Structure 1
Amino acid sequence: MKKLMVSGALALALSGVAMAEESGGFVGVDLGVSNSVMNMDAGALGDTIGLNAKAASVGNFRYGLMGGYKWFFTESFGLRAYLQVNNGANQIPAGLNLHETINTLNVMANVDALYNFYASEASSAGLFAGLSFGYAIHYGGIVKDIVDGGLKDPSGFDMGINFGVRTIFAKHHGIEFLNRFGVIGASATTSESGMDVKMSILQPYAFGVRYTYNF
């Protein structure tokens, strides 16, 4: 009888682990810090006439919303897909004690692999890693100056790598510590007087914290 009770308790515990995190939809909000690197390249002639330039911002505040769906194939491994929209501003040095503003609105699709290294009936903890790709809309003072000067708007395709730590508690609530490394930034090339001028804006890193509600 005692063996039967122990076996039943063990089975119940294992079933609780398996049900620790289930497939379902989720929404979230995030706050973080990111930076931008702006590059203007007109080749060898650009070096001669002083047109080539590169400037990087320090970390600046960002905020956003996200929502999607996750699938768990085992008690430890899963996959999620979600849309993410975030916005923020970066200050690019433009001379002694001067800065220009680049505002960036990111509209991104993300796919992350999920791994839970801890699970109980009501909580779990694990890692995530995946890809982020979409459209970066750059606007603000310095972008306006670029367009007014005859160059193309440097908004466009942007791609990065996601990774971080995630937790679930009380079954529905989640906290994540996230990182994103940019690998491809938006760019545009303008032909001026037989010279090609390429403007690009890369978002090398972003990190922050995210709250999720899991349905």
Structure 2
Amino acid sequence: MKKFMTSGAVALVLSSGVMAEESGAFVGLDLGIGNSVMTTESTFSDTVSNNTSILTNKVASVGNLRYGLMGGYKWFFSEGFGLRAYLQVNNGTNYSPQRDLHVSISTLNVMANVDALYNFYTSESSSAGLFAGLSFGYAIHYGKAVDGLTAGGLKNPSSFDMGINFGLRTIFAKNHGVEFFSRFGVIGASATGDQGGTETKMSILQPYAFGTRYTYNF
């Protein structure tokens, strides 16, 4: 009986040092690498022969630096599970590796995000876990590649953009956090236009972005 009581007391002392991550507001800075793929599809119609031909050109950029800010609120329903919602703004410029084109696409993303949180480790002042969720908002595309096409009658392809978030997050000293994030694009912005009788459709997808993020938790 004495041994059982002693073991129970030790367990109580150890468990008292374990605290679940608390709900609250947070802000952050992120720095990473991303890319974009611009696709133009032009449809040519021959009124004499009634033939239609389609020319597709796809230009993929190399990964380039992206940086931004974020802020939101997190809710924890148990020691291990939570949910967070946050706004994110980031910017960067992608350059095509095709030297003869000198294509550049700059993108300003204004995104709303919702992530599910799972902590697999929790102590008195730190925790570690995973997150996964959805990112959706507005992508503003500009640069030489976009300007060259809009000058010919194509509408600006700035519009809705959607992706999937996934990553690893840690909290230390109660208020500070470091995250390793990734985002995979699902839906990209697009626009259509008439360039001298030729119907052209342009789309810009952001296939991936990954990097690190610092957060401060209030």
Query: Structure 1-normalised TM-score?
Result: 0.90
- Greater displacement, 75-84 / 138-147: 138-147
Partner Cα separation in structure 2 for residue 157 and residue 172 of structure 1: 34
2:143 pairs with 1:140: yes
The answer to whether the 8 A contact 1:137-1:155 is kept is: yes
Match of 1:53 in 2: 57
Match of 1:104 in 2: 107
Match of 1:10 in 2: 11
Match of 1:21 in 2: 21
Structure 1 residue 83, shift from structure 2 partner: 0.2
The answer to whether the 8 A contact 2:153-2:194 is kept is: no
Partner Cα separation in structure 1 for residue 35 and residue 152 of structure 2: 24
Q: How does 1:144-163 map to 2 (within 5 A)?
A: 144-163=147-166
Question: Gaps spanning 5+ residues in structure 2: where?
Answer: 46-51
User: The residue matched to 1:52 in structure 2 has which SS?
Assistant: strand
Partner Cα separation in structure 2 for residue 104 and residue 180 of structure 1: 15
Partner Cα separation in structure 1 for residue 36 and residue 195 of structure 2: 25
Partner Cα separation in structure 1 for residue 37 and residue 137 of structure 2: 18
Consecutive aligned runs of 4 or more in structure 1 exceeding 6 Å deviation:
none
Structure 1 residue 142, shift from structure 2 partner: 1.7
Instruction: Answer 1 or 2: which has greater helix percent.
Output: 1
Match of 1:69 in 2: 73
Query: Structure 2-normalised TM-score?
Result: 0.89
When residues 195 and 144 of structure 1 are mapped into structure 2, their CA distance, relative to the original with a 3 A threshold, is: closer
Aligned residues between the structures: 212
Match of 2:180 in 1: 177
Structure 1 residue 2, shift from structure 2 partner: 6.8
Letter in 1 for 2:11: L
For residues 42-76 of structure 1, what are the alpha-carbon distances to aligned partners after superposition, in whole Å with 9 as ceiling and x for unaligned? 2475xx87853110001000000000000111100
Structure 1 residue 169, shift from structure 2 partner: 0.5
Match of 1:86 in 2: 90
The answer to whether the 8 A contact 1:20-1:122 is kept is: no
Structure 1 residue 144, shift from structure 2 partner: 1.4
Structure 1 residue 13, shift from structure 2 partner: 3.3
1:209 to 183, 208, 212: 212
User: The residue matched to 1:143 in structure 2 has which SS?
Assistant: helix
Question: RMSD of the alignment, in Å?
Answer: 2.2
The answer to whether the 8 A contact 1:82-1:111 is kept is: yes
Who wins on radius of gyration, i.e. which is larger?
2
Q: Percent identity?
A: 69
Match of 1:128 in 2: 131
Letter in 1 for 2:21: E
User: The residue matched to 1:21 in structure 2 has which SS?
Assistant: coil
User: The residue matched to 2:155 in structure 1 has which SS?
Assistant: coil
Letter in 1 for 2:174: K
Structure 1 residue 141, shift from structure 2 partner: 1.8
